[in-house]
Amino acid sequence: MVPEGLREFFAVSTGASATLLGLLFVAIAVEPKSIVGEQSPVESRSRASSAYTALLNIFFISLLGTIPTSDLRYLPLILAVVGLATALGIGVNLWRASPCRRSVLSWGVGLWFGSMVVYALELWFGWQIVRDPGNTAHIYALVYVLVALYAVALGRAWELLGARKRGLLRALFSPRSVDERRKEDRGDNAPEY
């Protein structure tokens, strides 16, 4: 059974994830051909799919957590497997589509790896809940995993909206951004030939 102290979290999380899913639908509806259309870049489709999967995961676990008699036994396991499969598929598609596989930062390997870790943790804690349903510590740990899933979903949605060119991690670690910063420091705005 879900601890009484988490019912409010799950109620708020259900509303928040539903709202974010709705906003994701609106963002996609504004530019459907460029985000999820057949001719859209694989990066855009991957970002939308990753954000959608993470938010659906959060939504259904949170929704089940609001039911007083639910025990969250199997749903986290099922959704973690779906999340891992989706993340692996996204990684494979992005790897195949990348013209220069050395520049993996261009497709957000950090968030991809982060999502793999988060789904693996969800799988682990879901399994712990199945093994020992009376131990509420595993449910509390699962809640922290859901918070991390929010971070993954919001990061992917942020990238989907075009922030991938100006994101903090990209600015810090992307070789292209480092070169651009060096040019700005030198005051050199002319293109290199």
Better pLDDT: 182 or 50: 50
Q: How far from chain centre, in Å, is Cα 36?
A: 17
Better pLDDT: 96 or 117: 117
- The closest of 169, 168, 157 to 52, measured between CA atoms, is 157
Which pLDDT value is given to residue 168?
47
Distance between CA 13 and CA 60 in Å, rounded?
10
Evaluate whether 41 touches 49 at the Cβ level (below 8 Å): no
Average pLDDT for residues 104-110, to the nearest whole number?
57
Average pLDDT for residues 122-149, to the nearest whole number?
92
**What is the per-residue pLDDT across 55-74, written as a single tens digit (0 to 9) for each?**
999 999 999 999 888 878 89
pTM, two decimal places? 0.77
- Residue 10 pLDDT greater than 50, yes or no: yes
Q: List the single range of 18-22, 52-56, 78-82, 160-164 with lowest mean pLDDT.
A: 160-164
70-75: long-range contacts (C-beta < 8 A, 24 or more apart)? 70/1, 70/2, 71/1, 71/2, 71/129, 71/133, 72/2, 72/129, 72/139, 72/142, 73/129, 73/130, 73/133, 74/126, 74/130, 75/126
Which pLDDT value is given to residue 178?
46
| pLDDT band at residue 119 using 50, 70 and 90 as cut-offs | very high
| pLDDT band at residue 148 using 50, 70 and 90 as cut-offs | very high
Which pLDDT value is given to residue 71?
76
Rounded percentage of the chain residues whose pLDDT exceeds 90: 39
